């Protein structure tokens, strides 16, 4: 009986904290996005006296010749390209590290862990991108995201591959499957849960990135959704209603991904942890 009460109290406290931390700021953002400029300037948690939600939405979408629409296109290309490369490369490297033992494995593991620990250096990265002719291009920014996100993907895939029986590999080889066919026809489909985890986690990370886009992809033509917040913080500081409307628009896609794929994310993370 005592344990049940403590579990109920603990669950209630956790729920209250979650509501306070996540739902209250989101509600404040929605309310402020629906206010007029004068009301929003007060930055109070209050119900709008006059709803201007649709007007603010139209204003944000049409600002600077529909900059946010172009930014969504750029962010979509960036996210899809970077995540696709991370999934394929991460799965291949994780599979090889787990299945094949060689003297190079400790060195590769060192570089993988270094990718998680060492922080990104802005100036050397810009120098490298300029040397390759990729500075201020979507391809260059995709390469940057892949470089700094690949280590996390490799660790997840490697831990998950450890739970796949080696007998499947041996059976495929006996049937005449080569290394490429073995990986893409036998192993890769079995990584479905961890693939979804990597896709959602990395897609949200790339889509929400602000720093890399600011440093490595400057310019309105290359703007991503996170950089569009500058429209209302530098040009019109008092337009809090438009700023929060802009933030609300760019928050919706990652939120939808987490709502629909939260079970797959948990399954992929826990499976990797247990099997690794």
Helix (H) or strand (E) segment spanning residue 35: none
Question: Averaging pLDDT over each range in 3-17, 197-211, 213-227, 237-251, which range is the top one?
Answer: 197-211
Mean pLDDT of 170-198: 87
Residue 23: inside a domain: no
- pLDDT for residue 273 is more than 50: no
pLDDT band at 162 (very low <50, low <70, confident <90, very high): confident
Residue 90: inside a domain: yes
> What is the structure's pLDDT at 89?
94
For 227, which DSSP code? G
Give the residue, 117 or 3, on which the prediction is more confident: 117
Q: How many domains does the chain have?
A: 1
**pLDDT tens column, 37-70:** 888 888 888 888 888 899 999 999 888 888 888 9
- pLDDT for residue 234 is more than 60: no
Which own/partner pairs from 245-248 qualify as long-range (CB within 8 Å, at least 24 positions apart)? 245/33, 245/53, 245/56, 245/57, 245/59, 245/60, 246/60, 246/68, 247/29, 247/33, 248/29, 248/30, 248/33
Residue 10: inside a domain: no
Residue 87: inside a domain: yes
- pLDDT for residue 263 is more than 80: no
Residue 6: inside a domain: no
- Is 65 strand, coil or helix? helix
Average pLDDT, the chain: 84
User: How far is residue 234 CA from its own chain's centroid?
Assistant: 26
Residue 22: inside a domain: no
What does the alpha-carbon distance between residue 34 and residue 17 come to, in Å, rounded to a whole number? 26
Q: What is the pTM of this model?
A: 0.82
Domain residues for 125? 67-275
**pLDDT tens column, 74-110:** 999 999 999 999 999 999 999 988 888 788 888 888 8
Residue 29: inside a domain: no
Q: Say how many C-beta atoms besides its own lie within 10 A of residue 225's C-beta.
A: 29
What does the alpha-carbon distance between residue 35 and residue 38 come to, in Å, rounded to a whole number? 8
| Lowest-pLDDT choice from 12-21, 227-236, 255-264, 265-274 | 265-274
Q: Which among 164, 165, 17 is positioned nearest to 91, based on CA atoms? A: 164
Residue 244's CATH number: 1.10.3720.10
Structure tokens at 9: 């109290």
Q: Say how many C-beta atoms besides its own lie within 10 A of residue 204's C-beta.
A: 18
Residue 271: inside a domain: yes
**pLDDT tens column, 114-160:** 888 888 888 889 999 999 999 989 999 999 999 999 999 999 899 88
């Amino acid at each position: 009986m005592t344990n049940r009460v403590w579990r109920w109290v603990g669950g209630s406290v956790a729920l209250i904290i979650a509501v306070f931390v996540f739902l209250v700021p989101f509600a404040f953002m929605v309310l402020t996005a629906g206010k007029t400029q004068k009301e929003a300037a007060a930055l109070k948690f209050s119900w709008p006296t006059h709803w201007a939600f649709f007007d603010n939405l139209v204003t944000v979408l049409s600002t600077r010749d529909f900059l946010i629409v172009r930014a969504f296109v750029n962010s979509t290309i960036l996210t899809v390209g970077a995540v696709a490369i991370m999934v394929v490369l991460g799965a291949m490297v994780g599979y090889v590290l787990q299945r094949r033992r060689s003297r190079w494995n400790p060195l590769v593991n060192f570089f993988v862990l270094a990718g998680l620990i060492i922080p990104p250096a802005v100036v050397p990265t810009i120098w490298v991108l300029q040397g390759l002719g990729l500075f201020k291009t979507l391809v260059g920014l995709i390469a940057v995201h892949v470089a700094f996100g690949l280590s996390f993907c490799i660790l997840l895939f490697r831990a998950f591959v450890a739970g796949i029986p080696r007998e499947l590999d041996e059976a495929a080889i006996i049937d005449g499957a080569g290394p490429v066919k073995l990986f893409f026809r036998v192993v890769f489909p079995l990584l479905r849960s961890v693939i979804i985890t990597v896709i959602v986690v990395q897609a949200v990370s790339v889509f929400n990135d602000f720093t890399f886009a600011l440093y490595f992809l400057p310019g309105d033509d290359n703007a991503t959704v996170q950089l569009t917040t500058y429209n209302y913080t530098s040009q019109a500081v008092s337009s809090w209603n438009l700023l929060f409307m802009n933030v609300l628009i760019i928050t919706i896609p990652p939120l939808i991904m987490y709502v629909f794929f939260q079970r797959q994310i948990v399954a992929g993370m826990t499976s990797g942890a247990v099997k690794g």
